[in-house]
């Protein structure tokens, strides 16, 4: 989870994070990545959406609350 948090915090505000990039950058297997993303979403720290127009690429955005909470020591 630490590597994923580091990747999310390194992104700009309103940055879109795509699962394939998160897996690569955080060096996390998809079996572990999706449960972590779901946990962050359940806490309201991530939102998600789909790229237009064909909605085939899902992305995640770190919320302001998420950035604040994940940046805590």
What is the value of pTM for the model shown? 0.89
Cα dihedral 13→17→23→24 (10° resolution)? -80
Q: What is the CATH number of the domain that holds 13?
A: 1.10.10.10
pLDDT tens-digit profile of 13-57? Answer: 899 999 999 999 999 999 999 999 999 999 999 999 999 878 889
* Total domains present in the chain: 1
Residue 21 backbone dihedrals phi, psi, to 5 degrees:
-75, -40
* Residue ranges making up the domain that contains 30: 2-70
């Amino acid at each position: 989870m630490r590597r994923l948090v580091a990747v999310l915090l390194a992104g700009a505000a309103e940055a879109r994070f795509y699962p394939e990039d998160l897996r690569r950058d955080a060096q996390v297997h998809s079996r572990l990545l999706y449960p972590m993303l779901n946990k962050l979403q359940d806490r309201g720290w991530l939102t998600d959406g789909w790229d237009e127009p064909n909605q085939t690429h899902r992305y995640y955005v770190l919320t302001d609350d998420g950035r604040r909470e994940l940046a805590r020591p």
